[in-house]
Amino acid sequence: MRLLTVHVPDGFLEGLDELVRQKKYANRSEIIRIAIRDLLRDELWDQR
């Protein structure tokens, strides 16, 4: 995997941290990978 650095609003990070606190995801990176995967699937990969 490669490293990607992004800037996000504080509220986004608070939401990510809350999901991790609730044990829904292991960490922020997992949430972001899933979100990117779902976006690419919806916007690119399912257009065939």
Q: What is the DSSP string of 1-48?
A: ---------HHHHHHHHHHHHTTSSSSHHHHHHHHHHHHHHHHTGGG-
Instruction: pLDDT tens for the chain, 48 residues: list them.
Output: 999 999 999 999 999 999 999 999 999 999 999 999 999 999 999 865
pLDDT at 46: 84
pLDDT at 48: 56
Predicted model pTM: 0.86
Q: Measured between alpha carbons, how far is 10 from 38 in angstroms, rounded to an integer?
A: 22
Q: For the chain, what are the domain ranges?
A: 10-47
